[in-house]
Amino acid sequence: MIRAKYTPVSHNLNQDTAIRIDDFRAINADNFADCGEDESASFLQSAFWSVFKSKTGWRAYYCRFSHTDAHESIPLYILCRSLPLGFSLAYIPHGPSSGLESLEPGQLLSSLAKALADQLPEKPLFFRFDLAWDMQTPQAELLSSAEYLKQYRLYRGTAVQVPDTVLLDLRQSEEEILAAMKPKWRYNIKLAAKKGILVSWSGKENLPVFMQLYRQTAQRDGIAIHTAEYYEKIFDIAARINEALHGNLIDVRLWIAEHEGDILAGIITLFYRGHAIYLYGASGNVKRNLMPAHALQWAAICAAKASGCQDYDFFGIPPNEDPNHPMAGLYKFKTGFGGRIVHRAGCYDAPVALFAYRVFKFMETARLYWHKNVKKRFVRKARQGSQSE
């Protein structure tokens, strides 16, 4: 067995770039209630998501960080997962969302990684910051420079969350939202209503029906999905947090579209701190011409607006309108509802053990190529062969 020497990377930090960490602790379903949250942050930077992921093979941690000269500290959630040779991956989903005022982004990420490495009760191989910063901001633009990254010993990381999305402004009236859609999308919404598509929402009680649709979607589109237990935990953790906090901060809904007794499609949405997120979607193989997917999205958009959400995040599209992209249909569907296309900064890695990180990165790249290219090609050929028989 190859044993990698654990030599932490020196970031050569000056005293004025030091990060202070306070209240660092592991969190789970029993001790999250007093954790703070950055109200400007994504739901991925929340006690809800961290506790949920702690039930799915990750270890969740919470802390507050600040620049040594700052008076206010910022909540941060970290997820860790075991890697070979005793290392772990430290993943910060959509974080940090704040803390850019006094530090350059490179300083922030490298010094934050160093400070967190001193606190974690495990051996992080690297920190992966999955940044939700808009690429049009000056901070994100700095990170697009290879020379700038090299200065702070940062590396472009493999995407975990899809960095590109569509944000629909719900502060408009329903008429304005409809008017901004592509004409075919307005037509499809009206067609679904005219043909009698019924849309309703519930909690996890309809998960068995949703999973039947999701398995059909996975088989048809060649995608991987989780077990039903994974999605059930989302509803369970949301309910537990709402009960503990005596409110309805985490509003998870499962939407179903049906027609004359046939269940046609379903989606799962999250309403959180004034933002709506389309998390998962599934559809069957019958009556697709009745446009149940358009009816579902419109119902969820209207409900999100009525609940006070200011935007609706379609949560993931290909980076551009490339007809040859395997998810080109997804791009066309989501952008058809109007909204603003947002390109987020995505993942940046701050290695702690540099040599071992380079080995891991090589293996990660090879694995990704296998799954996204070679394996999918085999699956596509097998599907075409079965259809021609």
Phi, psi of 118 (to 5 degrees): -75, -20
**Residue 220 CB contacts under 8 Å (≥ 6 apart), including other chains:** 285
Domain span at residue 247 reads: 172-309
The CATH number linked to 297 is 3.40.630.30
Q: Do 56 and 146 belong to one domain?
A: yes
Q: Are residues 128 and 209 in the same domain?
A: no
Helices (H), 56-182: 105-117, 138-143, 146-151, 174-180
Q: Does 24 fall in a domain? A: yes
Structure tokens that stand for 137 in this block: 């901001």
CA torsion, points 108, 110, 111, 117, in degrees to nearest 10? Answer: 130
- Specify the pLDDT at position 12: 40
pLDDT score at 38: 85
The structure's pTM equals 0.90
Bridge partner residues of 341 (DSSP): 166
19 and 145 part of one domain: yes
Q: What are the pLDDT tens digits along the chain (389 aa)?
A: 333 333 444 444 334 458 999 999 999 999 998 898 888 899 999 999 999 999 999 999 999 999 866 668 899 999 999 999 999 999 999 999 876 667 899 999 999 999 999 999 999 999 999 999 999 999 999 999 999 999 999 999 999 999 999 999 999 999 999 999 999 999 999 999 999 999 999 999 999 999 999 999 999 988 889 999 999 999 999 999 999 988 889 999 999 999 999 999 999 999 999 999 999 999 999 999 999 999 999 999 999 999 999 999 999 999 999 999 989 999 999 999 999 999 999 999 999 999 999 999 999 999 877 666 655 555 555 555 544 44
Give just the sign of the alpha carbon dihedral 183, 189, 190, 191.
Answer: positive
The domain boundary, picked from 264, 287, 309, lies at 309
Q: Are residues 272 and 198 in the same domain?
A: yes
Pair (282, 370) in one structural domain? no
Distance from C-alpha of 279 to C-alpha of 301, rounded to nearest angstrom:
13
**Is residue 339, in this structure, part of any structural domain at all?**
no
In a domain, residue 1? The reply is no
The answer to whether residues 154 and 189 belong to one domain is no
Please name the helix (run of DSSP H) or strand (run of DSSP E) that holds residue 216, with its range, or none: helix 207-221
